[in-house]
Structure 1
Amino acid sequence: MRYDTTWKYSDVNRLISVQVGDFISDSLTWSNSVHMAGLRVSRNFGVRPDLVTYPLLNWSGSAAVPGTVNLFVNGYKTSSQSVNAGPYTLTNIPFINGAGEATVVTTDALGRQVSTTLPFYVSNKLLARGLSDFDFSAGALRRDYGTKSNDYGEGAFSGIYRYGLTNRITGSVHSEASEKLWLAGAGADFTPGQWGTLSLSVSHSQYNSRQNGEQYTSGWSYYGRHWSMNLQHINTSGTYLDLSNDSNDAPSSHSSDQATFSITPAGQTAGTFGLGYFAIRADDGIRTRLANASWSHASAAAPASV
């Protein structure tokens, strides 16, 4: 049994990877991946582990006299630098994701201190302003993977493109095409202040030149110091299809909802408790619901999870 045969090249300077052979196309939170054989060109931030792709906490201020500025994030000192009188910008701010609290303490030559505290929210779902991410895949759809070695279907194309419009808004577009299907959609992720990340998208598909459908998605996620939550709703109308439905003849869902919640009540002492709920309603009206509960604890001796 042959599974995947592929050749891959990565350009470190341009952050681009080229893949020839069998591969799985990339996807967005509101689209699906497909198994294909052909050519894939994509952005690859993984070749630069030092590169931070999302907007970081940025702090600028002004000092009346020369002194020292100390930055505390969530109660921990993260940076200290000497500043001259006038405006300044703090650098070397640590990589953070989620909600927190930043305190800037300015100390002058006489030891007098001025402290300013502000809440913040940083989302790694966004791209920094001016940064782009993409994945373009073209080839033949892979069929019966795991049971047949060389079963390929019709030619197809799948592409996604994301761009950091601002440090608070990231736009995205997605398209798919095959002999019988075409699909186009657009979406956005944005952070409204310190209230997490909102995600919205809309897509339209056409199959056999006469079957049309739409998909609408909305989502919200929040990651705090002691708890986190993620909500997503997907709804389709008409006959909405994509390459994943067209390639394996799987039944499509009319709507789906998912909600996850986790809490770490006492740091890592008591571990992390989680709850999840998932509901899917297929086009034939059949509903599937699933709920789960979990607990995990990470320790140097023996990590555990239930």
Structure 2
Amino acid sequence: MWSHGPMRFSVWPSPMSGFDAMAEVVAHCDRTGWDGAYVMDHFMGDRAGGEPDDAPILEVFTALGALAARTERLRLGPLVLGNTYRHPAVVAKSAVTLDHITGGRFVLGLGAGWQVNEHHAYGIDLFDTGTRLDRYEEACEAIRALVTNDRTTFAGRHYQLTDAPCAPTPPDGRMPILIGAKGEKRGLRIAARFADEWNSWATVAQLRHRSEVLARHCDDVDRDPASIRRSTQALVTLVDDPAEAARLRDEPSDRPTLIGTPAEVVDQVGAYAEAGLDELIVPDWMWGDVGGRTEALDRFSTEVASAFR
């Protein structure tokens, strides 16, 4: 069935359910053998028209600090930080602080930023796509230098650092950086340069294709593509009736999905594994209250994830 090394399985708790619910789900996953938990970095829900949204969303660094105190094993990180919201030096200091709070369990997820309504409502510059990616690439380079070196001087077009310390340093000597990107020309090249881990929403076919593009960028920067772990997320629906599963799979979705009986979903996850996936991140957004979420997560862990441990 599965002949490769173990896959990681992580949870992505709903950011709109309130902190108590998020903390209960994450603590449950910490106790029951999951590998990680991620929190998104947004200040409001998205709206296609760009108008503000009133959904109650928690700020990511504050939430992660509180979750760190309620967990012992899980890797924790943002999925992913919007670069437009914070100066890279501030990100580096916050990240190293969380790495110490977690005892070396922190994963620094970085993204370019994209959501229009929060930039507009809060007066944060979004920039055009090219400028946003230029700033993102510079930020990744600056952050990597800050969390690696005793002092950093960096003279970029958008960011400048002068003999900048970032003490204390990460407790394990190196903090993993997860790059969120799917753009073939710039995003995946940034991942090739800076990612310990790379993430994008992806079907199996998309994962294969983007991995090939990533490998070509790695060749250009003289890096082994196997040194970069790959992760994605998918919406999971487990059902016991194959006919019902087939009907649900026929329904349109704007996100990758894993739908079927446990045996069918094992096969679907196996296809991701054969495509090179190292970590599957499971959102809990569609499973109702905390009881429904933990029950669904337990079933997935027992009947699906166990096949890949």
What TM-score do the two structures reach when normalised by structure 2?
Answer: 0.28
Q: More helix per residue: 1 or 2?
A: 2
Which one has more relative contact order, counting CA pairs under 8 Å at least 6 apart?
Answer: 2
Structure having the higher strand fraction is 1
